[in-house]
Amino acid sequence: MGLDGFYAQMLRIRLFEEALLKLFSRGILRGTVHTCLGQEACAVGVAGALDPRRDTVCSNHRGHGHFLAFGGDMKGLLDEIIGRDSGICAGKGGSQHLHSKNFYSNGVLGGMVPVATGIALAQKRSDQQGISVVFAGDGAMAEGVIYEAINIAALWSLPLLLVIENNHIAQTTPEILAHASPIENIPVAFGVCTEKVDGNDVLAVRSTTDRLIEEMRVVPSPRCLVLDTCRLGPHSKSDDTRAKDEIARCHERDPLKKVEAQLPAATIANTQARCNGELQDLLAEFSLT
Ligand SMILES: Cc1ncc(C[n+]2csc(CCOP(=O)(O)OP(=O)(O)O)c2C)c(N)n1
Ligand SMILES: [Mg+2]
């Protein structure tokens, strides 16, 4: 896929989630939603390197981008978030508790890492050479269950790719108040080969994931990919406690702007028109325009 393809995928996620926040403020959505605004390159770069027929993705509370980038159905997701029977989980899972094909998510912080480790064991025992991918945030990395799961994955050489999206904040708690040492030290302490990449650079995320997946298919063993990224939006709907200049610095790193700087203006305009059209058609189908 070329840069224009990556751009289109990231933009679809961006527009979909911006629409969710608007639907929330109109009282159309209930419960909560956590958007991945600003972190789209993590989702697109990782998921694009996977084989949806044999690889699995376990996601967290901020999982719409992971779901869409892994080939998930946007209409089924919107149906699910609205809480309709026609949603991908019959409207019972909502935004955070999704399952469709090889995609699973759960809102319990760190809770999917042991699940993904179990899936990795099943994958190692099958002859499909599938990889179990799990996303976790910097805050989740303070949960004890993750340490147990990494230990078993390393001990049993399981094909588990732990992707840490380090946006340096957990709701309102900055990383420096939650972790005694850099997050990448955690998997390294268990002997897990760990790489750190700019999570707002979709090409870097994709090429690194491609390489890690290739290595893991040949010799199953865990890997950790730490993605340095930034949350552009609130934690969930309107709860952002960060200083304005900190948020402004995140906007300077916007992964979409980074790609736009490398694309012809006509490509950007066409992609925007196409992605906007797709979203407007979807909202019209739901009578939500
Ligand atoms: C076990 C548990 N504790 C607390 C929460 C409430 N909670 C939801 S998201 C979140 C912060 C998560 O931060 P991080 O892991 O860095 O992910 P991010 O939101 O930054 O993507 C918290 C505390 C939860 N869902 N599960
Ligand atoms: Mg975080």
Domain ranges across the chain: 3-285
12: Cβ below 6 Å to ligand 1? Answer: no
pLDDT, tens digit (0-9, with 9 covering 90-100), for 130-182: 999 999 999 999 999 999 999 999 999 999 999 999 999 999 999 999 999 99
Does 30 have pLDDT greater than 90? no
Residue 288 token pair: 């939500």
Environment class of residue 287 by beta-carbon count within 10 Å: exposed (0-12), middle (13-18) or buried (19+)? exposed
74: Cβ below 6 Å to ligand 1? Answer: no
pLDDT, tens digit (0-9, with 9 covering 90-100), for 200-227: 999 999 999 999 999 999 999 999 999 9
Which atom of ligand 1 is found nearest the CA of 136?
Answer: 15
Number of alpha helices (DSSP H) and beta strands (DSSP E) in the chain: 11, 9
Residue 262 token pair: 């490398």
Residue to probe by mutation, ligand 1, list 37, 40, 59, 61, most atoms within 8 Å of CB? 61
Does 195 have pLDDT greater than 90? yes
Residue to probe by mutation, ligand 1, list 141, 171, 183, most atoms within 8 Å of CB? 171
The SS3 assignment for 114 reads helix
Strand partners, 228: 166, 198
* Cα-to-centroid distance, 110 and ligand 1 (Å): 8
**Do residues 21 and 108 lie in contact, with contact meaning Cβ atoms separated by under 8 Å?**
no
Strand partners, 226: 164, 196
Q: Is the pTM of this model over 0.95?
A: yes
Give dist(CA 38, CA 199) in Å, integer.
Answer: 10
Task: Please tell me the total number of residues recorded for the chain in this structure.
Answer: 289
Which atom of ligand 1 is found nearest the CA of 141?
Answer: 15
What topology does CATH give the domain 3-285? Answer: Rossmann fold (3.40.50)
Q: What is the DSSP string of 190-252?
A: TT-EEEEEETT-HHHHHHHHHHHHHHHHHS---EEEEEE----S-SSSS---S-HHHHHHHHH
140: Cβ below 6 Å to ligand 1? Answer: yes
Mean pLDDT of the residues in the chain: 97
* Cα-to-centroid distance, 141 and ligand 2 (Å): 9
Q: Report pLDDT for 248.
A: 97
pLDDT, tens digit (0-9, with 9 covering 90-100), for 244-270: 999 999 999 999 999 999 999 999 999
Q: Report pLDDT for 275.
A: 98
